Amino acid sequence: GEIWTRNSVTIGDGIYKTTDGGQNWTNMGLANSERISSIKVNPNNTNEVFVGVLGALWSDSPDRGVYKTTDGGKTWEKVFYINATTGCSDLVMDPKNPSIMYASFWEFRRTAYSFSSGGENSALYKTTDGGKTWNKIHNGFPAGKLGRIAIAAAPSNPNILYSVIESEKDTDKGLYRSDDAGASWKRTNGDFGLVVRPFYFSRIVVDPKNPDIVLKAGLNGSLSRDGGKTFKDIGGGIHADVHDFWFDLHDSNRIYLCDDGGFYRSYDGGSIWDMSKGLPISQFYQVAVDNQTPFKVYGGLQDNGSWIGPSSKPGGIENRDWISVGAGDGFRTFPHPKDPNIVYSEMQGAENIWRINLEKNSAKTIKPFPEANDPKFRFNWNTPITTSPHNPDRLYVGSQFLHKSDDRGETWVKISPDLTTNDPAKQQQENSGGLSMDNSGAENHCTIFAINESPLDQNIIWIGTDDGNVQLTQDGGKTWTNVTANIPNLPKNTWAYFIEPSSFDKNTAYAVFTGYTSGDFKPYVYKTTDAGKTWKSIVSPDVKSFARNIKEDYKNPNLLFLGTEGGLYVTIDGGQNWSQFKNNMPPVAVHWIALHPTEDALVMATHGRGVIIVDDISPLRQLTKEIIAKDLHFFTTKPTKMAESGAFGGYARMGEFVGENPSSMAQIVYFLKSRHTFGKMSLEIFDQNDKKIADLAPGKSKGINYVDWNYSLKPPKVAKGKTLVFGGFQGPTVLPGTYKIKVTKGAKTYESNLNLIANPKSIHTAEDRKVQFETAMKLFNMSEELGYVVDQIDTYKIKIDSISPKLTTAKLKKQFPLADIAGKMQTLKETLVVLKGDNYVGAAEPQLREKISGLYGEVLSYTGRPTNAQLASMKVLEEKLNAAKSQMEGFKASLDKLAPAMVKAKMPELKVRSFEEYKAAEN
């Protein structure tokens, strides 16, 4: 769990251990800890570990304090505990004596509408006996209540300690230093960069070799080189909101830093920073898609603005393919339904809502403002803004009121009264923060959070509020009904996080509530079929995390997707049973789900792993209880649009993340009732003449299996030589058409069809493709025929070399001129393949093999008709190949004439394998 306790942080489920360098991890307990601040391993006994547990953010909890294990995590003992509201926010072990530790305890609490940092129980403690006893070390500390306390010990001199203290008086806040292992403290600095937002920036680290070099987290990060007397911003172009540092213990010029923008490295002590751009760790709040081809993805990022990026691109999706369309904390970001040049985005608390014209590169503020007699508008930190499925120019924005615009945000009208509880006790944000006032808008409350207009009736609008109301209008906002009281077993004031109107029935809707801001992590998911008069829970015990988002499939009303704090869940029976979706999907927080209306792609905004796309959900639409009962079932798949060879996609920059494209291959999808473990299982592809053209490795897992076929034949079997022939590494692409799939599982056989179609955007005619395929197959066969000629030469050479020592007289050599024939065959071989080189680059002019393979590769590289020059070149090469084959037949005839005499002389037969045997043999 995250220990920088902002409103959007996630929770953990305990402590994990690896014994193989991070390849595998095992949960070792402390399941209810939620947030672990520190882990300290005794360097003299690695089975002894101390853990600082900050604990629950939203509720009281006994699972806080300092825990200790002496058996490598099998059992744990709580060795220091204050109370249910105070957790261990930092734990430091003396670098030279593991029995000495320092633990800072912090009293804190966050609610949906407030935050409190500090209290009588916040303090810094020290143990000198391995955690048996603990004592406050406050000599020189500020008087009164304390808040969050950061602590660090200098590795090169453990008597030097640094602590950043949040206190009641602003003049007492700052950096304190001890030179006697905590016996006394002295305030050395109170710079703003050190004391700002202590709940969010409370990490201090010391250079392992120089006790006077200190780094402190903060808005920009601060660096001191004089023991804390003076600090300067780190600089170097890093992103704002620095949270943590780590010094390389062997080279303290190498520093690692993480902030709201990512992960950075410095190799010169912090002057210059290099961002690691290969980590997919972004935190998206919302995601949307458009109808372009390929479709684009829109989304808002935590403290990184709003962005648009492609769902696919030649060479993969790179960071530079994304376009910035917002600033601050990015939230709702989406395109105009009809005008691809118009995009809407916002920043936190509706501080700004923009209408962006991509073509003109302009951004106009369009947020609604109160009129003369209006009260102040209360906007949620994550303000809802959405379009109408009926009127492409209509927008809705929620404050405590619902605002509507029919002209893209130029003018707004209120179409509701205050739809929240309007509880004054929950609107005291100016007093939020505790010892350090903190009113960033994150605690704004009694606001609208969910807005959705029915796709079947524009007068039906559903509203959810963060203080627990579900409101419904069925007349476009003229009248409203609060249906919250009709929802059974829902704790009062539970956040109405998302409402999904059905695409099949205008009286049906789904509502997701989340109680995590009250410390309630149970999922609450309901369905109504009578416009909110009655509701039924549709969540089962299978769902292990609290939920944020639900999406109904557009084609199958029983297929629902649920975004939770612990990953994606799917139901195929309308919510009676749920299963976690695990097909390469991590158990990460899913904040938003978008379903593409035509491409069958499920797009998720995750908080920690960026945007994740499930490219094709159509098999899930077909899944039923009857199918699940079958041993094997093929799903009907859309015809595969065959990818065509393109131009050049370029190269990704070194170290950058490259997102995967949707598979361009044909996918064979089937369901297995149980994992195949014993006996043979095969998957074969047959053409229209029932000729087997491909063998694929079958998926054998229980559940849905995906097997990719690149709709190509196997590569040709080429002659061996001293250079690589890159053209010979690939097989011809088959023509569009219907192909048979056959799975053999033990004694049972299952069959289905696979349809390949030409790309609708292709510039090539069917006749062009036919000529290309026939030319490729001709060159394919030529490659194999040449390979067979060379194989015969090599076979004869081996056999003749074994016989030659027995031809000891001139008479025998004359009677059996084997060496002469072998020499002529070798001369022929020199015209067929390159025989000098390093098995990569040839050291001689290309010969017939290289020329055929080169031309073959050129023909394969272009989906359309080969050039006239290529067709003419093939004829020339074919003539040369025929001449070589004829010459080889002459050598064989000469050797066959010698066969009777060789048999009589009791010499081994000079036989070679057939062409079919050559092709069937392994390379």
- Which three-class secondary structure string do you get for 231-249? CEECCCCCCCCEEEEEECC
**What is the mean predicted confidence (pLDDT) over 855-883?**
97
The whole-number pLDDT of residue 823 equals 95
- CATH architecture entry for 288-432+445-548: 7 Propeller (2.130)
Q: Is the pLDDT of residue 657 over 70?
A: yes
The residue extents of the domains of the chain are 16-209, 288-432+445-548, 549-623, 640-646+663-758, 768-920
Residue 318: partners with Cβ closer than 8 Å, 6 or more residues away: 652, 653, 656, 657, 658, 659
Q: Cis peptide before 294, with omega less than 30 degrees from 0?
A: yes
How far, in Å, CA of 33 to CA of 16, rounded?
12
Q: Is the pLDDT of residue 33 over 70?
A: yes
Q: State both tokens at 229.
A: 């007397």
pLDDT digits (tens, 9 = 90+) for 722-742: 888 877 789 999 999 999 999
The whole-number pLDDT of residue 649 equals 62
Q: Is the pLDDT of residue 653 over 80?
A: no
Q: State both tokens at 17.
A: 């251990």
Of the two residues 117 and 922, the one the predictor is more confident about is: 117
pLDDT digits (tens, 9 = 90+) for 113-159: 999 999 999 999 999 999 999 999 999 999 999 999 999 999 999 99
Q: Are 20 and 52 in contact (CB under 8 A)?
A: no
How far, in Å, CA of 682 to CA of 668, rounded?
13
907 pLDDT tier (thresholds 50, 70, 90) = confident
Q: Are 297 and 611 in contact (CB under 8 A)?
A: yes
pLDDT digits (tens, 9 = 90+) for 802-855: 898 888 888 888 888 999 999 999 999 999 999 988 877 766 789 999 999 999
CA angle 398, 400, 406 (to 5 degrees): 35
The whole-number pLDDT of residue 134 equals 99
Q: Are 741 and 685 in contact (CB under 8 A)?
A: yes
Residue 636: partners with Cβ closer than 8 Å, 6 or more residues away: 618, 622
* Residue 832 backbone class (left: φ over 0; alpha: ψ -120 to 50; beta: rest): alpha
How far, in Å, CA of 473 to CA of 401, rounded?
13
Q: Are 189 and 220 in contact (CB under 8 A)?
A: no
Q: Is the pLDDT of residue 912 over 70?
A: yes
pLDDT digits (tens, 9 = 90+) for 419-432: 999 999 999 999 99
pLDDT digits (tens, 9 = 90+) for 453-482: 999 999 999 999 999 999 999 999 999 999
The whole-number pLDDT of residue 723 equals 86
24 pLDDT tier (thresholds 50, 70, 90) = very high
How far, in Å, CA of 561 to CA of 549, rounded?
8
**What is the mean predicted confidence (pLDDT) over 620-637?**
95
Q: Is the pLDDT of residue 652 over 70?
A: no
Averaged pLDDT of the chain: 96
DSSP-based three-state secondary structure for 297: strand
Q: Do domains 288-432+445-548 and 640-646+663-758 have the same CATH topology?
A: no
CB pairs under 8 A, 24+ apart, for 581-586? 581/614, 583/614, 583/704, 583/706, 585/612, 585/614
> Which neighbouring-strand residues pair with 592?
605
Beta strands of 48-189 (E only): which ranges?
A: 49-53, 65-69, 77-80, 86-93, 101-110, 115-117, 123-127, 135-136, 146-154, 157-167, 174-178, 186-189
The whole-number pLDDT of residue 93 equals 98
The whole-number pLDDT of residue 837 equals 81
How far, in Å, CA of 462 to CA of 448, rounded?
11
Provide the terminal-to-terminal Cα distance of the chain, rounded to the nearest Å.
53
The whole-number pLDDT of residue 447 equals 99
**What is the mean predicted confidence (pLDDT) over 670-688?**
96
> Which neighbouring-strand residues pair with 3?
none
The whole-number pLDDT of residue 52 equals 99
Q: Are strands 748-758 and 640-642 parallel, antiparallel or unpaired?
A: parallel
- CATH architecture entry for 640-646+663-758: Sandwich (2.60)
How far, in Å, CA of 593 to CA of 549, rounded?
7
The whole-number pLDDT of residue 380 equals 98
Amino acid code (one letter) for 476: G
Residue 140: partners with Cβ closer than 8 Å, 6 or more residues away: 176, 178, 184, 185, 186, 187
How far, in Å, CA of 725 to CA of 184, rounded?
76
The whole-number pLDDT of residue 305 equals 97
